[in-house]
Structure 1
Amino acid sequence: MKNMTDNNKNKENEYAHWLFNVQGLGNKSIDKLLCNGMSCSDIYKADVKEFKGLLTDKQIKNLEQSKRIWDFDKEAAKLAKKDISFISRIDSRFPDKLKNIPDPPFALYVKGELPDPAKPSVAIIGARMCSEYGRYMARVFGRGLALAGVQVISGMARGVDGISQKAALAAGGKSYGIVGSGVDICYPEDNLEIYNNLCEMGGVISEFPPGTYPKANFFPMRNRIISGLADVVLVIEAREKSGTQITVDTALEQGREVLAVPGRVTDRLSDGCNLLISQGAGVAIGVDDVLERLWEGARSSRCREKTDDIRRNHNEDQYNLGSREESEGPETIEDEILELVDIIPVSSSQILEGLNLRGIDISVPQLMGYLMELNYKGALIQDGAYYRKRQ
């Protein structure tokens, strides 16, 4: 029965691939059809006259023509030959982070893999024609975040984007390039090495079909996916009016936190970052600042989940008082440390602060001893100066 279910899901994804490639049908038009209670296969099998009022006459004509010429086996073979995956919103692999953003993509093409949803992700964006300072900071943040186990997301563009991704990959980390073309096309061409490494050590992702060449109006569209896949957006060098601001705007609209690297007030390439900071964006002087925001975000999320659990079980507890043993808290300092550490890397100072908030007063040397012991036992993984829980 499981195989039949899996086969049905795969077949439905093939119909989704067809629907996504009907000329003139965008995300909103597809949503109109699906919100009408039909599946992708239902749409394919239905009489196009049923869509009168939902689609324009031209869209209906394109839909009818596409049904006649679309070859499911041939299209699947094209993707397989280039090692490209088509992942629609009905696919379980589709990122949850993208499902609820404004104008979510209906589907993605992926060469390589998608970001791991269980691991933190930071989008690094900035000027294409960056200064030496911008190049240096892009390398520092790209490498530092990768060493801390954070996935780096960017647009594979010249300048800050490509430099940060190259540094992340060189450090052995994972990085993902969101492109304004088909995933089988490397743009810009001088980033071919980064493109090839992304395909091997992360992924190249696009909502545009393979073979699509980049156009200026494609890049603002892809920016919402860059910020959508990230937990935090980090801006390294940007002019006051630049394409980076588009990504910042979409990030804020999506509820993502934005951090900016400050620069000299006399440097026009830092005007955008300095302005963001003056408007309330967080300041990122080093990798610690980004990890701190990730840690705080994850901690807040865990607190919300705990609160939801308490509310959900409130009525049950009223009728089962005394039927369950009282939950025991952590018994040792090592247990306390493990409760403070998650998959998002944290520094020893953050752990020490968390212990102090719990009323546990120990010295730094004592804490380092506990951390070394937990690392030796395999309960924690040390990434440079940071610690994270083993999955």
Structure 2
Amino acid sequence: MNEVNNREVLIWLNSIGVSNVTVNKLLRYFENISDIWKVSTDEILSLKGIRSSVKDKIISKRKESVLENILIKIKKNDINVMTVFDEDYPNRLRYIYNNPAVLYYKGSFSEVDKLSIGIVGSRKATSYGKWVSGKFSNELSELGITIISGMAKGIDTEAHKGALKGSGRTIAVLGSGLDNIYPKNNKKLYDRICECGAVVSEFPLGTEPYASNFPQRNRIISGLSLGILVIEATEKSGSLITVEHAIEQGKEVFAIPGNINSIFSRGTNYLIKDGAKIVMDIEDILEEIDEFKNISIRSDEKFDYSELSSMEMKIIECIRKEPTHCDNIVYMTGLDISTVSSTLTILELKGIVKELPGRVYILC
């Protein structure tokens, strides 16, 4: 056999389905993991603490053609690979439990990603939850903080979009191989993240988005982040698994409070009850994490309201803090429905407000 290095052996083991736990055992057995490519079949069969099915897999797949096909597939898909043997492997991941031996990625990592926050929440997010996710990720990214999430529907998707809207960086950690974009309708978002950050996975190419993969990938989201913000979550949400990883890793946990009658707020409200920091604005996050304390918040308004009418300003004040239904705007302003509707239309045309489903309005 040709000489195979440690790095290539890690990629090969990962690609044939050998778990990180087993890889760590092999790293204890062999001074150089590449030795597994050279030793006899009997020596592999004699390894203790490793399942027979895994040993058989290693023996049957220990072929130059298998490794060559893996490396060709990676190159063909324009995938970058980093391993725990590489200097550019993220330091925050080196010391977490069950750290990924191999990471596949598109895009790039940057020094600025050291200032990062993970944002997670429900796939079946409410309009309010999506608004909060976009708002917080946008405001944090404008301060140079990288947003890390999982590119799932709902809260994750809005977190990435908010970061991109803020011209910031964002990292998506997938529960599938990088050639299996999930959800598929996030293909454009996937491409944009690759341009302004990175899409990452520990799963080899060809891996489908199996449900069991997502709890596993959550430890990478929390591992790369200085803290985790949970925006909406049910009592048994996968987001709470990310929180468990964050607590294990010694990371700060933040939660957005929600309606006590909403199933999508039960998880976050229980987190707050159990000691997570309640978050009302980004200052609540910045003041809690040491690395963020020197970041100054820019106070400039996004829009120039000086030329708006008093009626327009009345309506803007109603929706400045949160999404508001048209009927509530009518009630709070005392204006008739036709006046409110026509003024909202004008503000939409000016790019100041945006209508959400159900006649709910927010500031852009």
Question: What is the TM-score with the length of structure 2 in the denominator?
Answer: 0.76
Shift of residue 143 of structure 1? 0.3
Instruction: Return the alpha-carbon distance in structure 2 between the equivalents of residues 208 and 348 of structure 1.
Output: 39
Provide the C-alpha distance between the structure 1 equivalents of 2:20 and 2:235, rounded to a whole number of angstroms: 31
| Equivalent AA in structure 1 for residue 263 of structure 2 | R
Counterpart in 1 of 2:7? 13
Q: Which amino acid aligns with 1:265?
A: I
Unaligned runs of 5+ residues in structure 1 are 1-7, 300-340, 350-391
Counterpart Cα distance in 1 of 2:204 and 2:249: 25
Which residue matches 1:56?
51
Deviation at 1:195, TM superposition (A): 0.8
Q: Amino acid of the residue matched to residue 21 of structure 1? A: S
> Quick one: distance in 1 between partners of 2:65 and 2:172?
29
**SS of alignment partner, residue 15 of structure 1:** helix
Cα contact 1:95–1:117 (8 A) shared by 2:
no
Q: Which has the higher helix share?
A: 1
- The residue type equivalent to 2:208 in the other structure is Y
Contact 1:129 / 1:158 at 8 angstroms: preserved in 2? yes
Using a 3 Å threshold, how does the CA distance of structure 1 residues 348 and 136 change in structure 2: closer, same or farther?
closer
The letter for the 1-side match of 2:146 is Q
The separation in 1 between residues aligned to 2:291 and 2:107, in whole angstroms, is 28
Deviation at 1:81, TM superposition (A): 1.8
Residue 262 of structure 2 corresponds to residue 273 of structure 1: no
The 2-side partners of 1:19 and 1:129 are apart by 36
- The reply on whether 1:82 has 2:77 as its aligned counterpart is yes
Q: Alpha-carbon deviations, 1:177-222, whole Å to 9, x = none?
A: 1111001221111212211111111111111111111111111111
Q: 1:28 aligns with which of 12, 17, 21?
A: 21
* Correspondence 1:207 to 2:157: no
Stretch moving more, 107-116 or 212-221:
107-116
Change (3 A) 1:190 1:29: same
For residues 134-163 of structure 1, what are the alpha-carbon distances to aligned partners after superposition, in whole Å with 9 as ceiling and x for unaligned? 111011111011100000000000001001
Per-residue CA deviations over 1:111-170 (Å, capped at 9, x if unaligned) read 112353663110000111111111110111110111000000000000010011111012
Q: Distance in 1 between matches of 2:261 and 2:228?
A: 24
From the superposition, tell whether residues 100 and 117 of structure 1 become closer, same or farther in structure 2 (CA, over 3 Å): farther
Letter in 1 for 2:287: E
Specify the alignment match of 2:125 in structure 1. Answer: 130
**Among 219, 222, 226, which residue is 1:227 paired with?**
222
Q: How far apart, CA to CA, are the structure 2 residues paired with 1:234 and 1:186?
A: 24
**Map of 2:317 onto structure 1:** none
Q: Structure 1 residues 188 and 80, CA, compared in 2 at 3 Å: closer, same or farther?
A: same
- Give the CA deviation at 1:69: 5.3
1:169-248 correspondence runs (5 A): 169-248=164-243
Q: What is the distance in 2 between the residues matched to 1:348 and 1:199?
A: 27
**Aligned 8 A contact 1:292 1:346 in 2:** no
Letter in 2 for 1:157: A
| Aligned pairs for 1:112-191 within 5 A | 112-114=107-109, 116=111, 119-191=114-186
Kept in 1, the 8 Å contact 2:115–2:291? The answer is no
Letter in 2 for 1:15: V
Q: Deviations over 1:245-280 (max 9, x none)?
A: 111111111111100011222222111111111111
Distance in 1 between residues matched to 2:119 and 2:203, nearest whole Å: 22
In structure 2, distance between residues paired with 1:80 and 1:21: 14
> 2:227–2:251: 8 Å Cα contact kept in structure 1?
yes
The structure-2 alpha-carbon separation of the partners of 1:275 and 1:298, relative to structure 1 and needing over 3 Å to count, comes to: same
Conservation of the 8 A alpha-carbon contact between 1:113 and 1:202:
yes
**Identity level (%):** 37
Cα distance change on mapping 1:267 and 1:59 into 2, 3 Å:
closer
Taking structure 1 as reference, are residues 70 and 17 closer, same or farther at Cα in structure 2, changes over 3 Å only? farther
Deviation at 1:298, TM superposition (A): 6.3
One-letter code aligned to 1:27: N
5+ residue gaps, structure 2, are 300-364
Q: Distance in 2 between matches of 1:45 and 1:267?
A: 59
Read off the aligned partner of 1:105 and give its amino acid letter.
Answer: P
Code of the aligned partner of 1:171: G
Q: Give the match for residue 338 of structure 1.
A: none
Structure 1 distance, partners of 2:203, 2:216, is 10
Structure 1: how far apart are the matches of 2:113 and 2:169? 13
Q: CA RMSD in A?
A: 2.1
Paired residue for 1:92? 87
